[in-house]
Amino acid sequence: MIRLASLPRPALDPGMVEIAVERAAINPSDLIPVTGAYSNRTVLPFVPGFEGVGTVSRVGADVTHLKPGDRVLPLGASGLWQTYLQRPAEWCFAVPADVSTEQASTAYVNPMTTLRLIAALKEHFGGSCGIVGRRIGVTAAGSAIGRMLLMRLSAEGAEVTAMVRSEATAARLPTSPGLQTHVTGHQPIGKDLAFDAVVDAVGGDTGGDLLRHNLSPGGVLLQYGALSGIPIAQEAISARPDVRFSFLWLRSFVHSAGREVLTRALAQCFDGLRDGAFLSDIAGTYPLSHITEALAHQDSPDRRGKVLIDPRC
Ligand SMILES: NC(=O)c1ccc[n+]([C@@H]2O[C@H](COP(=O)([O-])OP(=O)(O)OC[C@H]3O[C@@H](n4cnc5c(N)ncnc54)[C@H](OP(=O)(O)O)[C@@H]3O)[C@@H](O)[C@H]2O)c1
């Protein structure tokens, strides 16, 4: 259950900054702890929202690289769905002046996940040119990350197949030279498609079938989501000892990378906004006071793009 609450603005400890949040995104991962999943690492009550942007409103003692008025992305913890957020200064990253506040609010989670997935594919295939000419299948290709993957993988020379569940979604996919589209509907994928790699956000039977029937020996299935709500069956994983299966968590990277690496990764995310590959469609922006309507829009089958929250009203 989510409800609005008014709390006092606490004093700032040394090393902390307070951020007046201007836009926060609603991402599928925000809703997982809300449903009670991740209960081993989420202490309730908590403030959701892993992604958003704001302006530094106060700085604690010992903070040298930020000052009031700086626009920042606070990374590494939830809490963006509130008016004022406190974060350690070392977890706050400057937003370049040419990136709008709306663009910045979706600049991190999906773009950085896309970059990590592509880095994992390159690592599997032996280096930066390793994905050139590889047959790569992308499930839930109409999702924000799916679209980013299609554009980036095609631009890097992979033979990409977008897998979507409806003709309507297929019609809205970005166009790119060499990009194939396969509408899966609610039928099994079929055994006629062959891939060197699959990047999967669906899991369940979709991911399991792809793993069993559609991956060439030596290939890789990278899973990063389970939009079906069902994990890939262990039997499907065990049935293919000749391919690699792994799950990618952005969180693991973010919490182990260190500030310098994260600064470079964010610079790549901002570049992706500038060249258009990492821009997200915005389906609507809601005041935080209308969070119930915002969540209903997020859940709607007619949603086209990201739902944003404006915590100032
Ligand atoms: N591992 C990580 O660190 C990480 C990081 C970020 C995101 N994620 C995951 O990545 C996934 C995508 O996130 P996003 O923000 O890109 O999503 P999004 O933009 O909200 O898009 C979700 C879209 O996927 C499609 N979809 C939903 N359920 C589906 C199903 N069962 N089968 C096929 N398609 C389905 C729907 O499109 P249509 O209705 O048009 O078919 C839906 O609009 C989520 O599972 C999220 O949790 C993981």
SS3 breakdown of the chain: % helix, strand, coil, rounded to 5?
A: 30, 25, 45
221 vs 226: CA distance, rounded Å: 13
Closest ligand 1 atom to residue 228 Cα is 31
Sheet holding 244-247, edge to edge: 180-183, 159-164, 135-138, 195-200, 215-223, 244-247
pTM of the model: 0.97
53 vs 74: CA distance, rounded Å: 7
CA 228–ligand 1 middle distance (angstroms): 9
CA 17–ligand 1 middle distance (angstroms): 32
**Beta carbons within 8 Å of 22's beta carbon, 6+ residues apart:** 52, 53, 54, 55, 101, 105, 310, 311, 312
pLDDT in tens, the chain (313 residues): 899 999 999 999 999 999 999 999 999 999 987 776 666 777 888 999 999 999 999 999 999 999 999 999 999 999 999 999 999 999 999 999 999 999 999 999 999 999 999 999 999 999 989 999 999 999 999 999 999 999 999 999 999 999 999 999 999 999 888 899 999 887 778 888 999 999 999 999 999 999 999 999 999 999 999 999 999 999 999 999 999 999 999 999 999 999 999 999 999 999 999 999 999 999 999 999 999 999 999 999 999 999 999 999 9
Tell whether ligand 1 has an atom less than 6 A from the beta carbon of residue 145.
Answer: yes
Tell whether ligand 1 has an atom less than 6 A from the beta carbon of residue 224.
Answer: yes
Domains delineated in the chain? 16-106+280-310 (3.90.180.10), 114-250 (3.40.50.720)
Tell whether ligand 1 has an atom less than 6 A from the beta carbon of residue 202.
Answer: yes
Six-digit token string for 91? 């977890």
Question: Is residue 78 within 8 Å of residue 85, measured between CB atoms?
Answer: no
Pinpoint the alpha helices (H) of the chain: 28-34, 101-104, 109-124, 144-155, 167-171, 204-209, 234-238, 250-257, 259-275, 291-299
